[in-house]
Amino acid sequence: TVRLTTAQALVRFLANQYSERDGQEQRLIPGVWGIFGHGNVAGVGQALLQAARTGEADLPYYLARNEQGMVHAAVAFAKMRDRLQAFVCTASTGPGSTNMITGAALATTNRLPVLLLPSDMFATRVADPVLQQLEDARAGDVSVNDAFRPVSKYFDRVSRPEQLVSAALAAMRVLTDPVETGAVTLCLPQDVQAQAYDWPVEFFRRRVWRVGRPLPEPDALRRAADVVRGARRPLIVAGGGVVYSGAGEALRSFAEATGIPVADTHAGKGALAWDHPCAVGGVGSTGTSAANALAAEADVVIGVGTRYSDFTTASHTVFACPDVRFVNLNVARLDAVKHSAEPVV
């Protein structure tokens, strides 16, 4: 075992996490955005400073000036890295942490990974109420950080050092799962951050989280192909999943082989080059006249990696053919079955 504080252990753990897809490995957690104050300066702040000065853990720190802004920056980074890397964001107790909630909602809504480490009230409660602590008359274990629960894909409060092991591993699992990814929140009580514990060395080993490519069920693929073969006016809607999975070349080949026009969502921009003969631009509320005219007449819509937001569907008005059918290809069954589609997961 090795004796470290909870914050030191977390920093060392995060520095040894990697993701891999198609044989390409990269650091899963390349750095930390943070604002330090009441609650995390003597915990996560001290641990990051020690790591930088001693080289015990390679986890760069980046100074932020606005909590919401740093989460938005982290989300943008994850998007540009095709969800294979995720930044950490940490903030102090109270409003410093709640300022990150909007960014958490953005990440979870758009299925983009970010790890949030909001400081929390003392686990021992001996100092209650501390500065900016919410006092809930109905429950003694509630803090403002509970507001992260509905906008997080995984939420945990590490109220004892040894709980960090299972919580940290669960966090990495969600961050690297294309279906489940979004904001991951690990609340860190300020006293627990600085509490020492004898950690198993195994916790700090180099871990590679592999992002696989699940194959569709043959029968589902056959049913989807039958629908597409019967189409007279098909349209492809390319979403962010095409970009994140690196499937642009496969989409281009399919479009060229079939001649089916390709519209895109906001997240799907770049899935097919704008000047490709099959590209018809954005679809929906902010779409092009060409894409929306094709959408209005389409008898089969092939949704690839899209969650069909209201902008894409123009609030369910853009696909106007009375007998329109959908075939949806997606890693998430939630999205694959939308519009009563023939799903290909």
State pLDDT tens for residues 232-269. Answer: 999 999 999 999 999 999 999 999 999 999 999 999 99
265 within 8 A of 235, measured Cβ to Cβ: no
Quick one: pLDDT band at residue 205, thresholds 50, 70, 90? very high
> What was the pLDDT predicted at 268?
96
pTM given for the model: 0.95
> What was the pLDDT predicted at 106?
97
**What percentage of the chain carries pLDDT values higher than 70?**
100
User: What's the N-to-C CA distance of the chain in angstroms?
Assistant: 43
pLDDT over 90 (residue 108): yes
335 within 8 A of 307, measured Cβ to Cβ: yes
**What percentage of the chain carries pLDDT values higher than 90?**
95
> Which domains does the chain carry?
2-210 (3.40.50.970), 218-344 (3.40.50.1220)
Separation between Cα atoms, residue 342 and residue 115, nearest integer Å:
34
Q: Once rounded to an integer, what is the mean pLDDT over residues 108-117? A: 97
| Strand ranges inside the chain, DSSP E | 2-5, 17-21, 24-27, 32-34, 61-63, 88-91, 114-120, 154-157, 183-189, 196-199, 207-210, 234-238, 262-264, 279-282, 300-304, 325-329, 342-344
> What was the pLDDT predicted at 133?
85
What does DSSP say about strands 234-238 and 183-189: parallel, antiparallel, or unpaired?
Answer: unpaired
Reported as type and span, the H/E element at residue 286 is none
Q: Once rounded to an integer, what is the mean pLDDT over residues 45-50? A: 97
Q: Once rounded to an integer, what is the mean pLDDT over residues 271-293? A: 97
> What was the pLDDT predicted at 196?
97
> What was the pLDDT predicted at 71?
98
113-168, pLDDT tens digit by residue?
Answer: 999 999 999 999 998 898 788 888 899 899 999 999 999 999 999 999 999 999 99
> What was the pLDDT predicted at 135?
87
Separation between Cα atoms, residue 138 and residue 51, nearest integer Å:
41
> What was the pLDDT predicted at 53?
96
pLDDT over 90 (residue 49): yes
